[in-house]
Amino acid sequence: MLTSLIRSPMSLVPRPVSGDEKRSILYDEAVVLSGHEGAALCVKFSPDGQNIASAGLDRTIRLWNLPTDAKDEVPNYGVIEGHKGAVTCLDWLAQSKIFTGSADSTVAFWDAETGQRVRTGKGHELTINDCSSNVDGTCISVGDDGSLRIWDEREKHPTATIETPYPILACDLSHDAKFAYIAGIDPTIRAYDLRTGKEAWSCAGYTETATSVALSTDESMLVLRGMDGSVYTLNAKSSVPEGVSRHGQVYDGAPGGAQMLLSRAKFSKDDVYICLASEDQLVTMWSTSSRRMVSKLDGHAAAVLDIDFHPSSNVLASCALDGAIIVREF
């Protein structure tokens, strides 16, 4: 069900701009989008970057226009309801379609224009923790039941299932949907060939539990965030020379995982930066080339849980336990 034209408040957090700053400024202030009742668990830009979807503990999916200076713009143009539990993850399938996973153990496909549920997918037995999709419509989900499930929006049951013995907390999908990458309670990071359903490779992580796994745009690396707050990369290529480790770089300076949250880390669209949703209420960014921390972005009043990069501009969205979505230039 889509409730349209919900006039949720939009506020601004001043962002200091140096006098000699040369780059174009889209936002002199960070835009705060408010509307969720409770924690906002996930946030994603639409493929064209004009819209944002967020979801959270209030069981809703909220649809936002990319904030501009248009005075007549309604920031929160729709609210989709239908899940019976917290909406823990989402991804845009296309400009008008959204794929979600929930604590109610179902996935769902939604029409983002009408708010109608296109399909409910059943198969998971416990909370779904993460999901991913590609442009061709292949979707995957992972959850506490230890399964990786592959979905087609035309089917109510998964088209394939890969079982593991431990809860899976995070996943990502290659652009061609040939490989799925998973991480979780098991300290081993695994890649599966979805054409065969078999493990393509595995690699021990730096920590016992990984809460996030994300593929770089060039598909050469994975970035992971450990429950202890560590951020590190692994070689994501299907094969590496014998005797060569998949372990990449470690990025220092983020807080530890005292709150045991499923905070996410991602590469920027050009792979120049790694960004982390941090428990210290900040968004932390590193340069991938120098491994130096380049920015700590504030504004949230509680631990940050997820971040996403605009597909074509230097704009970042973040969401947090405070229920707010913050959109800003970086």
Give 251-309 pLDDT, tens digit per residue: 988 777 678 899 999 999 999 999 999 999 999 999 999 999 999 999 999 999 999 99
Q: How many domains would you assign to the chain?
A: 1
Q: Is residue 20 part of a domain?
A: no
What CATH number does the domain containing 65 carry?
A: 2.130.10.10
Q: Is residue 19 part of a domain?
A: no
Range 210-227 burial, b when 16+ CB lie within 10 A, else e: bbbbbbbeeeebbbbbbb
pLDDT means per 10 residues, the chain with 330 residues, are 42 37 48 95 96 98 84 77 98 94 98 95 98 94 98 94 97 97 95 97 89 97 93 94 92 79 96 96 96 94 97 95 95
Please tell me the distance from the alpha carbon of residue 109 to that of residue 124, in angstroms, as a whole number.
15
The pLDDT value given to residue 253: 81
The half-sphere exposure of 147 on its side-chain side, counting CA atoms within 13 A, is: 18
The pLDDT value given to residue 162: 98
Q: Is residue 21 part of a domain?
A: no
> Which residues sit opposite 35 in a β-bridge?
none
Q: Is residue 31 part of a domain?
A: yes
What tokens appear for 142 in the block? Answer: 């992972």
Q: Is residue 304 part of a domain?
A: yes
Q: Are 95 and 83 in contact (CB under 8 A)?
A: no
The pLDDT value given to residue 94: 86
* Residues in contact with 297: Cβ distance below 8 Å, sequence separation at least 6, in sequence order: 30, 282, 283, 284, 285, 316, 318, 328, 330
Q: Is residue 244 part of a domain?
A: yes
Range of the domain at 173: 2-14+27-329
